[in-house]
Chain A
Amino acid sequence: MSKKTLIPIGPYHPLQEEPELFKLYCDGEIVKDIKWETGYNHRGIEKLSESKTYEQIFFLVERICGICSSSHPFAFANAVEEIADIELTNRAKYIRSIIGELERIHSHLLWVGLAGHFLGYNTVFMWAWKYREPVLDLFEMISGNRNSYAMFKVGGVRRDIEEIKIPVIQKVLDDVKKKTDLLTGAVMDDPVIHARTKGVGILTRQDIIDYAAVGPTARASGLAIDVRKDDPYAAYPLVNWKVITAQAGDVFAKAEVRLLEMYESISIIEQCLEGLKKEKEGDIAVKIKEIPEGIGNGRAEAPRGEVFHFVQSDGSNSPVRHKIRAPSYVNIATFKKSCIGQTIADATISLAAVDPCYCCTERMAAAYDSNSGDKIMNANELINASVKRTNEIKKTINSQL
């Protein structure tokens, strides 16, 4: 057997939402095997949740993820409302969907920016993150917070979106639409991005079924699964929209799905805003007396895929068991398929392609020789390897023109 070099990505690395360690076993430039270690950031939220009341749990699950901080409360609310058999007012449904879709827009913009950064397109990174800012400002206007919005509660939402705010939201949406056109153009027409992402990190339909991957990762491989359509909740059955899919399963297809989904999100929000105008202001929640005994399976489509919450209640004011499954839990496992056989420079973007939630500010990645233990590469050098490859492709393409 030939000598393999171990390249750890993590425990702290800009690719990852939480500290986790990927060990890439490489033979020369080619990744031969990958192993995964986690638990660096295990907070015991499922156990903690058993000691909190239903009202408190919303604030707890909101803090599972910093980027998609409304998707966990969304799924939890769906689970609890299923146990108690609660029907929301239309106004609450619209507001919930608006929050969910605004979040999808800012999360996808964030992904496009980071994907650009890993490919050596720092302009894309700066654009995308600049265009994301007004969306966060909208959250501040609606909920008082740019993140962790505290909008959800059992039976409805905490804050209303008054008529006076609707034109402001509409203006930002018009702006985001123009910027999305710009970004989509920049990504779809660039020959270098095509060369770096097409045919890279392919996940076939069968891989997706085997690993039960969800969200844009599954939709980019031709599986049209989307909880918003399959098991409709909130205002999604009240508006018109379509599920975006692509067939190729590579990084480019995942980018395409995310970019086109942003247009759908904008359209959903616009329809919800129209719907809001017809409903009575202030009618945002129904009164809940108690949560009866029972089982609730709640799910919601987060920007990264299906979030699933299982709640068992014994009739008291806190759950007996609360199981949470985030979409990255199933999506990250697909690295075993997408990375093996790739070069190290492509592994970076293949890992980033499933969007494993980028929240960490601490970053560390280093390559060590598996025999001597000497450091070979650090995080910047890994990104540089990826940037260098883009530059080489640029040169080849330019020389052909």
Chain B
Amino acid sequence: MDTESIIEKFKEEFNSDILEIVTKNQKRVIITIMPDSIINVAGYLYKTAGFRFIIASALHTKRGFEIHYHFSKDAVGLILNIHVILDKDNPQIESLSNMFNASNWIEREMHELFGINFLNHPNQEKLISEGNWAEGVYPLRKEFK
């Protein structure tokens, strides 16, 4: 299966949830989706389409908080970035850690460094600075100097 047919199938499955698709080349595709549909999208990629979860990268931009969930389809060398834009003042999104363990640590890390809340996370404790960092101070936000 090549990249185009993977993306076509994805479009059929989640037509109403997709906001934008950017195809840079056959190996790099960025799809922006509605944050509410993340569980369905990740579930489809992981269980049905055979994608591997690499990691997630959070960003703090003018638009608010953004997360790129990086998925890899190793058979075709494709990195699919599932991109969501979250609310500026109350960033929260459903956790993926009940589906696969790979996202457990990175969600804790994003919670700790950006203050993004992951709903239904099994154990949203601090990962890096347990016990020696002030509450409510998020070092990777842009206002932190």
Q: Does B70 contact A (CB under 8 A)?
A: yes
Q: Decide if B121 is an interface residue (CB 8 Å cutoff).
A: no
Give the residue of A37, A232, A295, A333 whose beta carbon is less than 8 angstroms from that of B130: A37
Q: Are B128 and A210 in contact (CB under 8 A)?
A: no
Chain A interfacial residues counted at CB < 8 A? 31
Bound complex: CA A315 to CA B6 (Å): 31
Q: Is the CB of B128 within 8 A of A308?
A: no
The interface bits of chain B over 113-137 (1 if a CB of A lies within 8 angstroms of the residue's CB, else 0) are 0000000000000111110100000
Query: Is B79 close to A, CB under 8 A?
Result: yes
CB within 8 Å of B: which A209-251 residues: 209-212, 225, 230-232
- Smallest distance from the beta carbon of A225 to chain B beta carbons, Å? 5
Contact of A209 among B28, B52, B61, B104 (CB under 8 A): B52
Instruction: Give the distance to chain B from A267, nearest Cβ to Cβ, in Å.
Output: 22
Interfacial chain A residues near B54, Cβ < 8 Å: 212, 299, 306, 308, 325
Contact A333 B105 (CB under 8 A): yes
A393 interfacial contact with B, CB 8 Å: no
Residue A297 lies at the interface, judged by CB distance under 8 Å to chain B: yes
**A295 lies within 8 A of B53 (CB):** no
The stretch of A41-49, A64-72, A106-114 in contact with B is: A41-49
Number of interface residues of B (CB under 8 A): 36
B23 at interface, CB cutoff 8 A? no
Q: Report whether B100 and A295 are in contact in the complex, using a CB–CB cutoff of 8 Å.
A: no
- Per-residue contact bits, chain A 310-327, to B (CB 8 Å; 1 contact, 0 not): 101000000011010100
A82 on the interface (CB 8 Å rule)?
Answer: yes
Residues of chain A lying within 8 A (CB to CB) of residue B144: 47
- The answer to whether A231 touches B77, judged by C-beta atoms less than 8 angstroms apart, is yes
Contact of B27 among A37, A209, A231, A329 (CB under 8 A): A231
In the complex, A39 has a CB within 8 A of chain B: yes
Q: How far is the CB of B45 from chain A (nearest CB, A)?
A: 12
CB-defined contacts of B104 to chain A, threshold 8 Å: 333
A225 touches B28 (CB 8 A): no
Q: Does more than half of chain B's interface fall in helix, strand or loop, or is it mixed?
A: mixed
Residues of chain A within 8 A of B53, CB atoms compared: 212
Task: Say how far A234's CB is from chain B's closest CB, in angstroms.
Answer: 14
Q: Which residue of A lies closest to B73 (CB)?
A: A230
How distant is the Cα of A321 from the Cα of B127 in the complex, in angstroms?
20
Assembled-state Cα–Cα distance A39/B105 (Å) = 13
| Nearest CB of B to A387, in Å | 33
B76 to chain A minimum Cβ distance, whole angstroms, is 8
B95: Cβ under 8 A from any A Cβ: no
State the CA gap A212–B96 with chains docked (Å): 13
Chain B residues with Cβ below 8 Å from A46 are: 140
Q: Is A321 in contact with B130, judged by CB distance below 8 angstroms?
A: no
* B101 x A232 contact (CB < 8 A): no
The distance in angstroms between the C-alpha atoms of A371 and B86, with both chains bound, is 46
Complex Cα–Cα for A225 and B104 (A):
22
Residues of A within 8 A of B128 (CB): 38-39, 42
Q: For residue A248, give the distance in angstroms from its CB to the closest CB of chain B.
A: 21
Does A330 touch B at the CB level, under 8 Å?
yes
Given the contacts A44-B139, A212-B100, A297 and B28 also touching, CB distance less than 8 Å: yes
- Kindly report which residue of chain A lies nearest to residue B129, judged by CB atoms: A39
Residue of A nearest to B25 (CB): A82
- B102, A225: Cβ atoms closer than 8 Å: no
Partner of B105, one of A299, A306, A329: A329
Question: Would you mind naming 10 contact pairs between A and B with Cβ atoms under 8 Å apart?
Answer: A39-B129, A39-B132, A211-B100, A212-B100, A230-B72, A297-B28, A297-B70, A323-B55, A323-B57, A333-B102
> 5 more A-B contacts (CB under 8 A) besides A308-B54, A325-B55?
A38-B128, A210-B102, A310-B57, A320-B59, A320-B61
Q: A-side interface residues toward B, CB under 8 Å?
A: 37-39, 42, 44, 46-47, 82, 209-212, 225, 230-232, 295, 297, 299, 306, 308, 310, 312, 320-321, 323, 325, 329-330, 333, 336
Interface pairs A-B: 5 shortest CB-CB: A212-B102, A231-B77, A323-B57, A39-B128, A325-B55
